[in-house]
Structure 1
Amino acid sequence: MEKIAFNPQDCTILIVDDLIQNIQVLGRTLETQGYSITYALSGKEALQRLQAIQPDLILLDLLMPEMSGLEVCEQIKTNPHYHHIPILFLTASHEEEHLIEAFEKGAADYVTKPFRSTELLARVQTHIQLKRQTRQLQQSENKLNTIVTHIKDGILIVDELGIVKFANPAAAQMFDRKLSDLIDHELGLPIVVGKVAELDIIHSRGTLGRAEITVGETEWLEQKVSIVSMRDVSDRNQVEKKLRIALDKQKVLSRKLQKLANTDVLTGIANRRNILAVLQKEFQRTQRYKEPFSLLVIDVDHFKLVNDSYGHTIGDQVLKEISQMLVKWLRNVDTVGRLGGEEFMIILPTTELQEAMEIAERLCEQIRNLEIDTTFSAIKITISIGVTAYQDNDKTDTDILKRADEAMYQAKECGRDRAITISG
């Protein structure tokens, strides 16, 4: 599939904020990159603007009078004409319930005010590209559906249990069945027994015929399946080849989309949505198998001072190098992600609290000894870490996250550059 060239001059962004000063600052930042800007001063005005123009992305203030950003987001995402437009919330609020509700209502991401120009531009570009690649994937799927729907060759996709997961109209006609009687049912014929086989079919005039079939192995919806191609004539391999190429292209594009949607654009590690999803899965796994796991919440000490003293570009460099250091000193089974701003989270599977504390202290030492070279001078950074482990009385993954967050704040209150543990 061809790569779509990204050109900001082709993109329009709608900014929704009740303060014109915020709109002006955002507008200048985006226009310097070539984006076209339009704006609205209220949620009601934003919905009216959408009737006149279809932006590529919406920057939406979370808290506005009369109609909040959450209400605007909900109306947009329930409208089939606009639901595909990515929404990035602008918020100065760090309240967990606001951000969670924003994602539940369909938000793609958020930017914290006062925003960082480099991160804002990176997030805007990422989500516009994600939207366009999603559309490209949909077009590819539509083309594939057109091919398999209208060709005369019968196409079946059969899982390892012999259940038909997909069938096209030609296949249904060959077996003299309705599609609904084929899909999610066993075929009842032992046709997937080798690379080449034959079976009886029914021709359009109702006469019995003989079809040659070919069977290929591949993956479909992350399952191992067999592709069965059936035809009365030759050239059967060409159909299978085209179908395999189409499926392979979709698989590659789907993986790229998944990586783009789950990666923090500044640091390259897991983003907030991804790391919280990993935490939920690890919590469920621990409940099921009764294996331990620990959690680290990390905050960069005095990070605001770094930004104020050296600028946001150096601040971004600090976050990137700390992320690389965290990844370097962790095990392959561990997961590190950026919760937002200068805050990170590390999930340590099959790890008791004592071992997690040792890892946290080692990370403090590594960051403490790290010198970050800049155009100004070498910068020394420290971190504060909150450490906790899963407890039997934890009801949700939020319980352990709050405990780790509380431990991190205790580490800061105790002088920073240290790890503090709360066991339960």
Structure 2
Amino acid sequence: MAEDREKKDKILIVDDVPKNIQVVANILQGRGYSMAFAQDGPTAIEMAKKTPFDLILMDIMMPEMDGIEACRILGGTPETAAIPVLFLTAKTDTESVVAGLEAGAMDYVIKPVNDAELLARVNTHLSLHRHRRSLVEINRKLKQESEERRKAVEKYQSMYENAVQGMFQSTISGRMLATNPAYARILGYVSPDELIRLENVGHVLYEKPEDRELMLEDLRENGVLTNYELKIKRKNGDSAWLMINARLGETPEGEPVIEGVAVDHTARKQAEDKLRRSRETFRYQATHDNLTKLYNTRYLYSALERMVCECGKAGRAFSLIFLDVDNFKEVVDTYGHLKGSKTLQEFADTIQSCIEEPAFAVAYGGDEFVVVLPDTDTGAAVAMADVIRRRVRERAYLTSHGHEIHISASFGVAAFPRDARDVNGLLGLADQAMFNVKSRGKDAVRAIGTPSSPG
């Protein structure tokens, strides 16, 4: 019920004669109005400032301040200017009526008051007031919404212009429609306009135009791209990486477009590549000899343990060649340690030139080397060792340093499982066969338990 009372139209009745106030009040009584009363203009003005009346019924002829003056003051006061005033007057001369209307009155009723006329005019002006008030509220909301939209546009424009991330809109065919300054900077262009003027971004911005086609395929299939890595070409020709989040959209004309946000991913990509290369280098160094680039003993023992296990189960053979450069100390004493190291590098190249995968060579230590020959029996291993021996004899070493020296090597061969079934046993027997060659004149091949094959 309290809510209903709050919604009642509030009417202020102003007349210096209490009897006249009572007459009007009796007519309006029972119509659901909330009524207040004043007997002079100043009191009515003060009451209207404090209470938002919906209509004021005011007598023109009052002492101290007549109704016309009170109406003029009400109309010039911001708090009361919107309240409609309806004059109750016994004066019917045109001059008084015009003066009242010019003072801001909306209408007038002639005394003695006719009940039906008063009620009709009151209802009419209350209805008009409600409509005016509704329009004012609508205008206020429209103005507020317009201001909020303006601020939102300014905020979005500021974000768009000052964003660190690149923002773009392009056609499927490759024409750039819009871009922010950040996207232009990422791609190496001075301004968005310079980027927009490009004829076909697919050919200008991509090292491989087919990369854009692959991106479009994913976009068409999924409708969006999330953290999509894309390699592009900057204006100066440098390569760069973008991390893109994009979606398919439409222009107001219905043309399909790509809308997205791009982050310069180049530094992170370079860091990842550097880390990957570092890991690859570490893995390589963990299994290779720094001087000769052949496999090292760590890799040798690991590979042999695996081969012993696998070949033992499968009943397959493999062989080892243990070889040592003959008289290598003389090379070092004659030409120095640096050229001695260069000789070992060239010697390793000679071995590599003679074998093919899955065979591999190992720098065992100093001037000693091992060659592992999978799926190879003793006879084939001896033949391969002799191929290497002959190639070593034929080659001239240190020619890049202005020398032409010739060297030889001694070779020992052992085979799995014929000679031994464990790694240390195989290496020990191949080493023993090699030393047997050394003790009998060098520059030869010998399989353990067999006579040497001289050069």
Q: Which has the higher contact order (CA 8 A, sep 6+)?
A: 1
Query: If the length of structure 1 is used for normalisation, what is the TM-score?
Result: 0.42
- Highest Rg: 1 or 2? 2
Which structure's residues are more often helix, by fraction? 2
Query: If the length of structure 2 is used for normalisation, what is the TM-score?
Result: 0.39
